[in-house]
Structure 1
Amino acid sequence: MQDLVVVGAGPYGLSIASHAAAAGLRPRVFGRPMAAWRDGMPPGMLLKSEPWASNLSDPKGAYGLAAYAATQGVEARHGVPLPVGLFASYGLWFAEKAAPPVEERTVTAVRPRAGGGFGVTVDGGGDSGRHRETFLARTVVLAVGVRPFADVPGPLRALAPERVSHSVDHADLTRFKGLDVTVVGAGQAALETATLLAEQGTTVRVVARSHQLNWNTLPPPLERPLGEVARAPHTGLGCGWKNWLYAETPGLFRRLPASTRARVFTSALGPAGAWWLRERFEGAVEVRLGESVAAAAPAGDRVRLDLVSTRGSVDAVTTDHVIAATGFTPRLSRLGLLDERLRRSLRRMGASGAPETDAVFETSHPGLFVTGLLSAPSFGPSMRFVLGATYTAGRVVRGVRRRLGTGSRQLPSGASREPLPAGTAQTNWMDGF
């Protein structure tokens, strides 16, 4: 029986694997390394987060983004965006240097066993010649990234795939040269996708429910007068004390009242474009604000969109393709690899579809851990970003060792989990970001 299986090989999965190996565990890690960054972001995209806030986590902190950039003759400088392609290559370098080998195979099923642990089924790995495999694991960490949770507005879901897609579906936008594309959304993914489309000669418009686009401002220098630092400290989520709390104290966030957490998720770190994108975007892309897609239907080999404004007026637009850059919702129901009985048995965060977790990211089913977007309702906004991997990795490994009996105390297989500490609030997280 395997002690630990990590499902996913993005920033969270690789960071957890690195900490697990350093702790003496021998995890099996499955997935395509840095898949979301390699397969879902086209050339020309830039990293929105600062380089110093975009590190994967190894126990010694020796394999950060700046260290990799130096090997490529690139300086990772504050206030200077780096190519997403460079970040993807950094993740592959990290996987080679700081993590155990990754098996580029897909976990297709995780089922609970009556005596404790899980049955894990993995596909054969494409052209590898390997057969489908099922084995036993005592603990499983889900580090599946965001792709399973992509949101497409209801009116668009009935369209054929050649007419509608999500922003995470595109590693190459050149297929849209010479076409008309409508991008739905107002965040960085929408605005940068639209900009890249316009720059390659695509006719493009952005449709957004909001009445204005929000743009981040140029970050101040890292070295500033003490008074400025005291008023608005730097964090990996932007300047300010609220952002500092989200970035530096996820454990404290987990103890906030449910209503507070729900309010934060409706207001904190909402859709916004990077400061360096604004000049390229404005004047190059048609923008339709205060409108949403009310209906969508094929129109020959194109798509007719009925756009309704906040005033109630309806306008029709015909386009060749719609790209939904409309975010992600961490619902367990979207994780088809989890056994249905297991999914139904997990305690959830109020009315949301996200799992409830304890301080070490363990769900209500002993031995099952969740990270990244799935843990954001418990630990706050930082878990939506690479930044959260550093907080997560060591704590998950601590929880795994405790569950295996190699930590401070042993918990027998199948034992019920510890109750939440006194005073810990239950959550009622709202959908979306």
Structure 2
Amino acid sequence: MYDLLVVGAGPYGLSIASHAAAAGLSMRVLGRPMASWRDHMPRGMFLKSEPWASNLSDPSGRWRLDGYCASQGVTARHGEPIPVEMFAAYGLWFAQRAVPEVDERTVTHVSAGPGGFEAVTQDGQVLPARTVALAVGVTPFTEIPPALRGLPASLVSHSVDHHDLARFRDRDVTVVGGGQAALETAALLAEQGTQVRVLARADRLAWNDVPPPWERPWWQSARAPHSGLGCGWRNWFYAERPGLLHRLPERTRIRITETALGPAGAWWVRERVEGAVEVLPGHEITAARPANDGAGVRLEVVHRGGAEGSAVVRSLETDHVIAATGFTATCDRLSLLSPDLRAALTRTACGSPRVTSGFESSHPGLFLAGLITAPDFGPAMRFVQGATYTAETLVGGVRRRLRAGGAGAAIPAPGRGGRSEAPAGARR
């Protein structure tokens, strides 16, 4: 029986695995490394986060993004975005050096079992563990506007469904949303010859400012310090003190999570959108149905920017709709958990599972990481920035849980990292 199973091998899962291995835990990490970044983001995208805020976490801080870039003859510079393909390759490089062997099988089911948990892999193997850390990323939580639900995938998709946008070349596509995913997807579509428009509910698009230089006069840094989530003391607090944010009242935490760092485009994508993409701000889809010829979608759209705030309804037809409308991370969408385990989780007011200061859910031994913990730890958990705090803190929580005796044997002394020994016959 393992001390810990890490389900998911993205930035959070790999970081947790690195810290767990260094702590001497018998552990295993399952999932295709960096799957979301390799399979669910169109080629040509860039990281919105600064390179120095996009590191995966190992206890020694040795395997950083800038080190990988240097090994490839590239300098990671403040204010210069990194291609998503390079970040995905960095994650694989990190996994090879900082993490025990990754089992690339998908976990299809997790349930409570004797002494802890049982996880079932895609080929039917059952893996027992005293504790489990779910680091499943964002793809289980995709949000599609109600008016578009029920239409076939040939007509409506989410932005995470696309690694290659070439299928839309010379077609008409409508992108829904006003954030980075929507705007960069629209830019890439326009640049390949797609007729593209953006529908956004907001009255106008928001754009992030060009970041100030890394080296600044002291008084500018004191007024608005750099942080992994942007400049300013508020962003610094969100990025650097998620443990303190966790102590705030639940209502306050949820409000911060829902309102901080709202939808906005990166400064470097603005010139690729303005003048190249039709943008319809203040528009919302109220109904959608297949077009009469079945080859496209007919949208009913309301614009509330008419005279004296009146609503103007219009119709438009498009070949395909891409909903870049974010994610809703709630307990109900943790479908790989058994129904009884999922139903037993204590929830916050917004439907996410409530977690302790050590990232443990209300079910002893079940730990959570990433986006789904944002209502408890704030907006840093929506970005790679949050992986370091999560990995360090969550592994500490796992050690406390095991030490308490309720989930299994005593904790081994922390090691120096490297590969953990698996139970006989457990490795593929």
**TM-score scaled by structure 2?**
0.92
Q: Secondary structure at the match of 1:387?
A: helix
Cα deviation, residue 208, structure 1: 0.5
1:224 aligns with 2:216: yes
**1:182-201 paired onto structure 2 within 5 Å:** 182-201=174-193
Once the two structures are superposed, what CA deviation does each residue of 1:190-228 show, in whole Å capped at 9, x if it has no partner?
000000000000000000000010000110111111110
Q: Distance in 1 between the 2:254 and 2:367 partners?
A: 22
The equivalences for 1:14-413 within 5 A come to 14-113=14-113, 115-124=114-123, 132-299=124-291, 300=293, 301-310=295-304, 311-350=310-349, 352-405=350-403, 410-413=404-407
Q: What is the alpha-carbon distance in structure 1 between the residues aligned to residue 407 and residue 143 of structure 2?
A: 37
Rounded Cα–Cα distance in structure 1 between residues aligned with 2:374 and 2:175: 26
Deviation of 1:257 (Å): 1.7
What letter is aligned with 2:135? A
Q: CA deviation at 1:30?
A: 0.8
Contact 2:253–2:377 at 8 Å: present in 1 too?
Answer: no
Partner of 2:307: none
Q: CA RMSD in A?
A: 1.0
- Matched letter for residue 110 of structure 2: V
Q: Report the alpha carbon displacement of residue 280 of structure 1 after superposing the two structures with TM.
A: 1.1
| Shift, 1:119, TM fit | 1.5
Gaps of 5+ in 1: 125-131, 415-433
Offset, 1:353: 1.7
- Rounded to whole Å, the distance in 1 between the matches of 2:266 and 2:4 is 38
**Cα drift, residue 365 of structure 1:** 0.4
Mapped contact 2:331–2:345 kept (Cα < 8 A):
no
Query: 2-side partners of 1:245 and 1:341: how far apart?
Result: 37
Cα distance in 1, alignment partners of residues 101 and 311 from structure 2: 55
Q: Cα offset for 1:260?
A: 1.8
The one-letter amino acid of 2:375's match is P
CA distance in 1, matches of 2:89, 2:176: 29
SS in 2 for 1:182: strand
Q: Deviations over 1:65-96 (max 9, x none)?
A: 00000000000000011111000000000000
How big is the shift at 1:262? 2.9
Tell me if the contact between 2:257 and 2:374 (Cα under 8 Å) persists in the aligned partners: no
Cα deviation, residue 321, structure 1: 0.3
Q: Per chain length, whose mean CA-contact separation is higher, i.e. which structure has more relative contact order (CA < 8 Å, sep 6+)?
A: 2
Q: State how far apart, in whole Å, the 1-side matches of 2:303 and 2:256 are.
A: 27
Structure 2 residue matching 1:276: 3-state secondary structure: helix
Per-residue deviation, 1:249: 0.6
Shift of 1:309: 1.6
- Quick check: 2:171–2:195 contact (8 Å CA) kept in 1? yes
SS in 1 for 2:175: strand
Letter in 1 for 2:238: Y
Kept after mapping to 1: 8 A contact 2:183/2:265: yes
Q: After the TM superposition, which segments of 4 or more aligned residues of structure 1 sit over 4 Å from their partners?
A: none
1:264 shift after superposition: 1.5
Cα distance between partner residues in 2 of 1:85 and 1:144? 20
Deviation string, structure 1 residues 234-254 (Cα, Å, up to 9, x no partner)? 000000010011001101111
> d(CA) in 2 for partners of 1:363 and 1:264?
21
Amino acid across the alignment from 2:298: R
SS in 1 for 2:258: helix
The separation in 2 between residues aligned to 1:91 and 1:258, in whole angstroms, is 33
Check whether the contact 2:172–2:319 (CA below 8 A) recurs between aligned residues.
yes
Residues 201 and 283 in structure 2, CA contact (< 8 A), matched pair in contact too: yes
Secondary structure of the residue that 1:404 maps to in structure 2? helix
TM-score by length of 1: 0.91
1:308 CA displacement: 1.0
Give secondary structure in 2 for the equivalent of 1:105: coil
Q: Give the unaligned 5+ runs of structure 2.
A: 305-309, 409-428
Q: What code does the residue aligned with 1:197 have?
A: L
AA of the residue aligned to 2:22:
A
Q: How many residues are paired up?
A: 401
- Paired with 1:267 and 1:117, the residues of 2 have a C-alpha distance of 37
Q: Mean alpha-carbon deviation: is it higher for 14-23 or for 258-267?
A: 258-267
Give the secondary-structure state (helix, strand or coil) at the position aligned to 2:384: coil
Residues 285 and 299 in structure 2, CA contact (< 8 A), matched pair in contact too = yes
Q: Deviations over 1:382-416 (max 9, x none)?
A: 000000000000111111111112xxxx33239xx
